[in-house]
Amino acid sequence: MQAQELSFSEEIQSCCLCQKNDAVFWDSEGTVHIEFLKQGNTVNSERYISTMRKLSVRLKPLRPTKHAILHHDNARPHTSRQTEETLHKMNFVVLSHPFYSTDLAPSDFYLFPKLMEHLRGNHYERDEDVEAAVRHWFRHKCVDFFNDGMRQLVRRLQLCVDRNGDNVEK
């Protein structure tokens, strides 16, 4: 990866990293798609492809002039042949992600810690209450918040290149 390739703040379209089977797809402008998995269900390739189809439909009216670059981790549902073929057919460009590199996963190093900090100490009676609180939190984040997450991703990717692929947080 060349350093020149890292200036993709305009091109980065969606970052998805699943945490506890919930998916948040976001870019430098805000959230694009949020999907919660009901208790007892798991994410497999079929489920992930279904989510990606929903994301594709949501992207068209929200970001009509941008080319989608997807950044997700290397979980099996994300990397199966079936998923890769489907993403290719849907014209997603997938940004490669080194194995075991949560330090390059913007949802893990930026988004989810801030969300968890906001939710900490609150008590929710039902799953729907948690979902509503999460959606409300995202709706009230300004564009600068999401831009900052993307800038941090670019900075971390550059550090990874500078360290010849070594983890950023070492």
pTM for the full predicted model: 0.79
**Running DSSP on this structure, what letter comes out for residue 5?**
G
Strand partners, 19: 22
> CB of 105 within 8 A of CB of 75?
no
Q: What is the pLDDT of residue 10?
A: 39
Intervals of the chain under pLDDT 50: 1-20
Structure token digits, residue 35: 């999907």
Q: What is the pLDDT of residue 57?
A: 92
Half-sphere exposure of 159 (CA within 13 A, CB side): 14
- Token look-up 């269900």 returns 41
Q: What is the pLDDT of residue 80?
A: 94
Among candidate residues 118, 97, 104, the one with its CA nearest the CA of residue 149: 104
Q: What is the pLDDT of residue 114?
A: 94
Structure token digits, residue 135: 């959606």
Question: Each residue of 86-116: pLDDT tens digit?
Answer: 999 998 888 877 666 667 778 888 999 999 9
11-162 in CATH: which number? 3.30.420.10
Q: What is the pLDDT of residue 7?
A: 40
